[in-house]
Amino acid sequence: MIIEQFINEKITQTTFYIQAVISHSLHHSELDQFILNTMDEWTLLKIQDETPANARERVFWHLIHELSLHGAHSLNDNLYFKSEITTCIDFFAGTGSYPLDCIGWRPIA
């Protein structure tokens, strides 16, 4: 699987999980597990370049790192965090602008 396909697939899936957690139709632990699984899948690709190919990928990695750092439960507990994550989702949907303070780098093994 090439990087662009991986990122596009994971953007779609991550968006679904986040929206489900926000709407309380999915427990936040499911999103946390999805993030861990995504990182495991990424390591299997053995990517050595940490520079994202485009803005969507940069926002994706920013989103993944933020969710890893704060945990999905923060979507329900922290309005600022929820707003930041929602801004990323809106950017993916083409209805929002590039998130402020977005720092997204590919993890490398």
pLDDT in tens, 40-71: 999 999 999 999 999 999 999 999 999 999 99
For the chain, what are the domain ranges? 3-93
pLDDT for the residue numbered 73: 96
pTM over 0.75: yes
* Cα angle: 102, vertex 4, 48; to 5 degrees: 75
Which helix (H) or strand (E) element contains residue 95?
none
Query: Helix (H, G, I), strand (E, B), or coil: what is residue 7?
Result: helix
pLDDT in tens, 95-109: 999 998 998 999 986
CA 106 to the chain's CA centroid? 12
Give the residue from 9, 3, 11 showing the smallest Cα distance to 63.
11
